[in-house]
Amino acid sequence: MSLDNPLSFALPIDSDDQAKTPNIESLWYKPDVGSRLKPAIQAVFEHWSGIAGDELTHHLHHVRDKAWQHFQYPCIGEWIFLLPIMTQMSVWPDILKRARADGTVLDLGCCFGQNLRLLAANGVETTNMYAMDITSEFWDLGFDLFRDESKMKAKFIRRDILEPSLRLEPLDGKMDIILACLFLHLFSREQQILATKRIIQFSRPGSMVIGYQRAHPQTYTVIRPGYVMYLHNLDTFRDLWRQVEAETGTKWQVEVEMVEIEEWGLEKEDHEWIPWAGINFVATRES
C-alpha cells in the first residue's frame, strides 16, 4: 500500500469504534474529488465499470470514505489513487503494446488495483495480471470501487516483498511488466535494495520495471516510529540500481527523470510544506 506522505501519516485503525468515525479533519483528507478525477480514469469507470455522471461522483466518495475508515493514508484521503500517472509517461504506449501481446503484468503495492484497471480498460487481458500487497482488504475495496469482481481475473497475492527468503513460483522469472508505482519510496535505502532485488527475482531478460515515486533534490530520510523512508534524487536512484545490478549479476538500462508533482496531477498546496518532487523511471533488463 502506498503510505506516501514523507513526514507523517496515520496507521490503520484497529478499533471498531474508531473505524466508524474517520478523521475528516485530517490534513490528508480532501472532502471532494474535484480535479483528481482525470479523463483517463473517468473513462475507465465509464467503459470498464459502467459508472458515469453523478452516480460516479457519489460512488467514488462512498468507496473512498469506506476505505478511509480503515486506512487513513494520504494516497486515499487525497485521492492520489485516482491519478492516472502511468498514462502520462512516454512509455505508456509500450506498456500497452507488450501487455496486449499476452505479456505478464505484476503490480506491486497494488492498493485498489487501479493501475491494472487502467490496463484492462485499454484492452489488456486480466488473466495475465498479478497483484501484490500486504492486505487483501485493498483488493476487496478495489472490487467495490470498480464493480468488476465477475470479470477482473487478476491473481491477488497477499505478501510482504521484504519477507525473508520470499519465493513465489508463479512469479519468479516470469514477469514481463512490473509496476512499482508509489512503492519503493515506502522503505529505507537498505530495504529498497532488498525490494529491488526481489523485483529482479520476478523478472527475466527483456522485462520492464515501470514506476514513479516521491523524491527530493537533496535526498530526504524520514524517521518515524516503526519505519524509515528514503526519498531519492536522480543520482542516488541510479546508484541504487547500479548496486543491485552488481549484486545480482544482471544488466539493466535505467531511464529516470525528476518531475514536478503538478505533472502527476497534484496541486501546489500538496507540497508547500516540503519541496518534494517526483521521480518517473523505466528499467529494462538487458541480461
Give residue 25's pLDDT: 58
- The alpha-carbon radius of gyration of the chain (Å, integer) is 18
- In the chain, count H helices and then E strands: 9, 9
Rounded CA separation 139/71 (Å): 13
- Which residues share a beta bridge with 223? 228
Find the mean pLDDT for residues 187-207: 98
The cell for 282 is 523505466
Q: Decide: 130 and 171 in contact? Cβ < 8 Å.
A: yes
The cell for 193 is 535494495
Which residue's entry shows cell 497483484?
131
State the alpha helices, DSSP H only, in the chain: 16-19, 39-44, 53-68, 74-77, 92-100, 114-121, 136-146, 189-202, 234-248
Picking from 143, 153, 156, 151, the residue whose alpha carbon sits closest to that of residue 59 is 143
Question: What average pLDDT is seen over the chain?
Answer: 90
Sequence-distant (6+) residues with CB within 8 A of 87 are 40, 118
Give residue 230's pLDDT: 96
Q: Decide: 91 and 210 in contact? Cβ < 8 Å.
A: yes
The cell for 283 is 528499467
Coil vs helix vs strand at 130: strand
- Which residues share a beta bridge with 4? none
Coil vs helix vs strand at 185: helix
Picking from 93, 96, 92, 145, the residue whose alpha carbon sits closest to that of residue 120 is 96
pLDDT digits (tens, 9 = 90+) for 20-74: 445 655 778 999 999 999 999 999 999 999 999 999 999 999 999 999 999 988 8
Give residue 272's pLDDT: 65
Q: Is the pLDDT at 151 greater than 60, yes or no?
A: yes
Picking from 209, 213, 279, the residue whose alpha carbon sits closest to that of residue 2 is 213
Give residue 149's pLDDT: 98
Picking from 240, 281, 280, 239, the residue whose alpha carbon sits closest to that of residue 260 is 280
Give residue 273's pLDDT: 59
Give residue 10's pLDDT: 34
Give residue 171's pLDDT: 96
Q: What are the strands, taking DSSP E only, across the chain?
A: 105-108, 129-133, 155-158, 177-181, 208-215, 220-224, 227-231, 252-259, 277-285
The cell for 191 is 530495504
Q: Decide: 281 and 211 in contact? Cβ < 8 Å.
A: yes
Picking from 153, 118, 114, 156, the residue whose alpha carbon sits closest to that of residue 137 is 156
